[in-house]
Chains A and B, each alone.
Chain A
Amino acid sequence: MATIIIDGQSFELPEGAKFNAIQAAKHFGIDIPYYCWHPALSVVANCRMCEIEVGTKDPATGEIKMLPRLVPGCQTPARDGTVLVTESAKVLEHRKNIMELLLINHPLDCPVCDQAGECGLQDYSYEHGRAAHRFVEERNVKPKKEVSDLIVLNQDRCIMCTRCVRFTREIPGTAELHVMRRGDHGEIAIFPDQPVDNPLAGNVVDLCPVGALLDKDFLHNQRVWFLSKHDGVCTGCSTGCNISVEENAGKVWRHKPRHNPYVNDYWICDEGRYGYKAANSPTLLGGNYVLEGKDHHGVPTDRFVKRLNETLTTRILDKQSVLGILSPYLSVEEAFAAAQWLASLTNRVELALGPVPVRGEDLTFAPDKTKGRSGDTSFIVPRPFTISAEKAPNRAGVEMMLDHFGKGAVPFEKALESVASHPIVIVFGGSPDESWIEADQVAALRKAEVLVLFDTTINPLADVADFVAGIASFAEKSGTYVNRDRRLQRFEAALPPREGVWPLLDLIAIVSGDGKAPIRSQEILKAAARVVPGLAKVEDGLVPELGLNLDSKDQPIPDAGFQDDWTLANVSTV
């Protein structure tokens, strides 16, 4: 067992952990401030914020020998016998010095800076800064520039930590950002006409510890302390990146990545990042509609349910069969509830999978340690990041339900052929994209005598369906998805359901008349786990924070969970 001594206290390092001093201290609840270091990037030790006193304890004599000078925690390995002192007068004085140095050329413009509230400089200033300013010279003036259509760089706020530059070189490998000039005239820059336009570009904004790199899409939209953050899972592809869905006043304002070393590490792709816009789309269905003649009429939910049930009951008594289509955008719980309801209607039911959008090929960014800056790379665990070609979050989860309730995952194209033998077609959609279905597919489905659609957007199928129920969008529902690696991941609703619209789980409970809304998705998951063999691992309905691989046991990742404090600043309660 490896023992490390921090501020006089002994701690046992977890098995297999390759920690530096910052990670080790954090693991035991002790914060060492830092800027330039990032757990997924090469170590450069240039900001010098993380300096501490370091020594070693002789295992034989128990004698502690301290190094005479300060040492950056980011470049100090935590080994058996390592001694760290993080709170000595020398260390505290040093932090004051660094804060002062970082601020001498920094503008005093927090009131207009978007980063305020989640800024590493602001946070540490309070904790570690000096009360009085000693700098009385003229400040260096540096420009504001655009590094892409979406990202602006306020050079005067930059602290030259080079996280952004290292990111573009080490993770996507596109190396669009560079350092220009040297000394205190240094700047971050792009080559003229070569913007940062890799699929992971937006991450440089999250990485930037200060308000230098900012997302123009979010710029001056919201002060971050008004945002409430909700743990979400991106629905953009089957990777299922963990995201924070950040909302205020009934609107989602942005997606930010949430760290999950098994899935997306610290990153999300730009498509997922800007996928939040669909949550605020004006084309979301605003209620329930019944087709009368050529026009859809909005009806209150109770009347809608009554009419739907009357129609279904009559026809089913008539021995008409049902074709149910479950889209890969449904959560596990929605798919379970939907399939269960359909199965309860009649035994003449066929279940199929909705269209699974596929675009291009899987795109994997496998960071190569040797591409980073030379130096100590022993703390970095390069984890590949994949953008999946399959552009839906839960094909795997929906297929489990189809396997359980039906005859497996009947593909959509096949289902279309069997519309003729099923007078009743019930479609569960949920894609944020209005064009999820094509005109010929709509035409094929419309051949049904009764076409029922549960969906989120006004789309070509909604235009023709007999019954159209608006349901909660991806941002308005809670539940779980199963990603491409068969990892079950939980997500929370960020917004309440839109006015006049129910979450699908509640709507099904009402339609089937056997539940009392509101329904908790966790209860449905529990119920599903009791009957669906693949879900046996979650019989208590509880999904661990980093998700759960349904097939195999996860290798433990000791460095999991490390995230920059300032991005976590929970200011929503202010």
Chain B
Amino acid sequence: MPKFEPVLSRNWNDPEILSVKRYESKGGYAASRKALTTMSPDQVVDLVKASELRGRGGAGFPTGLKWSFLPKDRKETFMCVNGDESEPATFNNRYLVEKDPHQFIEGILIGCFATRASTAYVYLRFEYIKAIKILEQAIAEARAAGHLGKNIYGSGFDLEIWCHRGAGAYICGEETGLIESLEGKRGWPRIKPPFPAIEGAFRKPTVVNNIETLACVPHIVERGADWFKSMGTPKSYGPKLYTISGQVNKQVCVELPLGVTTNQLIEEHGGGVWKGRKAKAAIPGGISMGLLTKDEFDVPLDFEEIRKTGCLGLGTAAVTVLDETTRIIDYLYNTSRFFAHESCGQCTPCREGTGWLYKTIKRIRDGGGRIEDLDLMNHLANNMGITPGTTICGLADGAAWPIKNAIAKYRPELEQFIRENVNPAARIAPVQEAISAGRSPLPSNTSMFVPGIGIAKSATS
């Protein structure tokens, strides 16, 4: 295999690249000029289709295909750039904005031209204070240099880019949650259909794309679909920004062709597991994905192969390493706490399920667990999410996956933990046990409850 030349990160060690001049001097905005002045929007869409670029935001949906879903007769289109980046352990979008904002702006410009969107909103999480500052400055410079505004390059195409700050809600990364948030509402995802391409922001056809997805586009325009497909593994082409964090020596963001392995990442880029320890497991792409056991570290981290391990997918390609001393129960405690905190609360299975799972896992961790709790957790996890069809969005799948995945892969460890960690103070309250067993928690003469349901009918009629 030829040595991989960085694509998205090629300018990252050049601090001057933040200026539009410098970016132009290195060949920047040539691709956007090419697209706008020599290609039609549909030709750009076809090119991106041919490159088989898949969305980098988590779902891996083919970008060109998504663009082609827009209704042909549309009058107005919006582009929403997804920079909410809240999946724990993920920070590659931040690098893209902070270290080479014009590459990203150029990507937006071409993406908007292809989809005929003349307004783009970049939804950035508020925590990216520095990135927002850099991006706003870069947008102003790009505008002054004629890459944005009216009649760009004399092509007749207009574009304005606005930065929209989030306010601390993971769910606003979900595309319709993002759109609701952009519209000034709570970030409650919408039911689909209608999909954003048909009715999105402000009830108009809308494209939602991740920052990294768009950053790939100028390179595809410049160097062609075949070049793009020369990198990666089947059905997973192109360069990818992987992040490595957790219990490794070096926590970094590196660009590699899609399909590297966890072992490669840890050993070649993460400086090995920290404190001289061995690895126990790794999260392949944000905590929603589940766990790769040590034995699965040679599976290519791409859109297809990783699913075969029982993980949800590649997600954000944010690899988090757990060393041999880390307890699975602590990992579950952390993930379930996250999802209970971030569930938007719309769908019953997610709202109640994430809270229930967190409380149960906390009780187990505190020493009040029962073996049957694992089955209960499994049952709850199996019945929440868009996979079984019981929720509006995929957050619930992400909440369920670590749990069912860990129970499948680490059940013996969890059972052992439950047996060996008994803390009377953490035991289930007797009143709850009574209700659960179908006994009334009240003295019998006041009982008005039907077992299990706790609702009086006979007593009151």
Contact = CB atoms under 8 A, between A and B. Distances in A.
Q: Are chains A and B touching in the complex at the 8 Å CB cutoff?
A: yes
Interface of A: 43-49, 51, 67-72, 75, 94, 97-98, 101-105, 108, 110-111, 116-117, 121-122, 125-126, 129-138, 140, 159-160, 179, 181-186, 223, 225, 370, 373-376, 571, 574
20 contacts: A72-B191, A75-B191, A94-B383, A97-B349, A98-B349, A101-B353, A102-B348, A103-B454, A108-B454, A110-B460, A111-B460, A121-B455, A131-B453, A132-B437, A136-B429, A137-B432, A179-B186, A181-B345, A183-B355, A375-B191
Interface stretch (B152-160, B238-246, B336-344): B336-344
A374 B199 contact: yes
A182 B186 contact: yes
B359 interface: yes
Given A70-B388, A131-B451, A46 B190 contact: no
Contact of B454 (A133, A138, A186): A133
Given A182-B186, A184-B340, A101 B348 contact: yes
B235 interface: no
Given A137-B356, A182-B169, A182-B186, A131 B461 contact: no
Contact of A126 (B193, B345, B457): B457
- Max chain A Cβ within 10 angstroms of own Cβ: one of B347, B387, B392, B433: B347
A184 B342 CA distance: 10
Interface string B174-214: 00000010010010001101100001000100000000000
A385 to B, nearest CB: 24
Contact of A184 (B171, B351, B360, B448): B351
Nearest to A45: B191
Contacts of B340: 183-184
B405 interface: no
A137 B360 contact: yes
Contacts of B363: 137
B449 interface: yes
Contacts of A373: 190
B391 interface: yes
B352 interface: yes
B386 A375 contact: no
Contacts of B65: none
Contact of A136 (B203, B351, B432): B432
Given A111-B448, A179-B186, A104 B356 contact: yes
Task: Tell me whether chain A's interface is mostly helix, strand or loop, or mixed.
Answer: loop
A184 B296 CA distance: 36
Given A133-B438, A138-B429, A182-B343, 5 more contacts: A44-B346, A94-B383, A102-B348, A136-B433, A184-B351
B351 A69 contact: no
Contacts, number: 165
A356 to B, nearest CB: 44
A135 B436 contact: yes
A184 B352 CA distance: 6
B383 A97 contact: yes
A133 B435 contact: yes
B342 A183 contact: yes
Interface of B: 169, 171, 180, 183, 186, 190-191, 193-194, 199, 203, 340-349, 351-356, 359-360, 363, 376, 383, 386-392, 428-429, 432-433, 435-438, 448-449, 451-457, 459-461
A72 B388 CA distance: 12
A116 B203 contact: no
Contacts of B448: 110-111
A70 B389 contact: yes
A542 B448 CA distance: 46
B186 to A, nearest CB: 7
Given A111-B459, A131-B451, A137 B344 contact: no
Contacts of A110: 448, 454-457, 460
B455 A108 contact: yes
Contacts of B194: 375-376
B451 to A, nearest CB: 7
Given A69-B389, A108-B449, A116-B456, A133 B436 contact: yes
A70 B392 CA distance: 11
A561 B321 CA distance: 59
A375 B351 CA distance: 21
B453 A103 contact: yes
Contact of A98 (B342, B348, B457): B348
Contacts of A133: 435-436, 438, 452, 454
Contacts of B429: 136, 138
A183 B356 contact: no
Nearest to B389: A69
Contacts of A75: 191
B197 to A, nearest CB: 14
B343 A184 contact: yes
A44 B388 CA distance: 18
A184 B354 contact: yes
Contacts of B191: 43-45, 72, 75, 375-376
B347 A46 contact: yes
Contact of B457 (A45, A122, A181, A374): A122
A184 B347 contact: no
Contact of B438 (A49, A125, A131): A131
A-B pairs with lowest CB-CB distance, top 9: A69-B389, A70-B389, A108-B454, A137-B359, A184-B355, A101-B352, A186-B345, A46-B346, A183-B345
A131 B450 CA distance: 9
Nearest to B376: A134
Given A94-B390, A183-B345, A105 B428 contact: no
Nearest to A179: B186
Contacts of B433: 136
B203 A374 contact: yes
B190 to A, nearest CB: 5
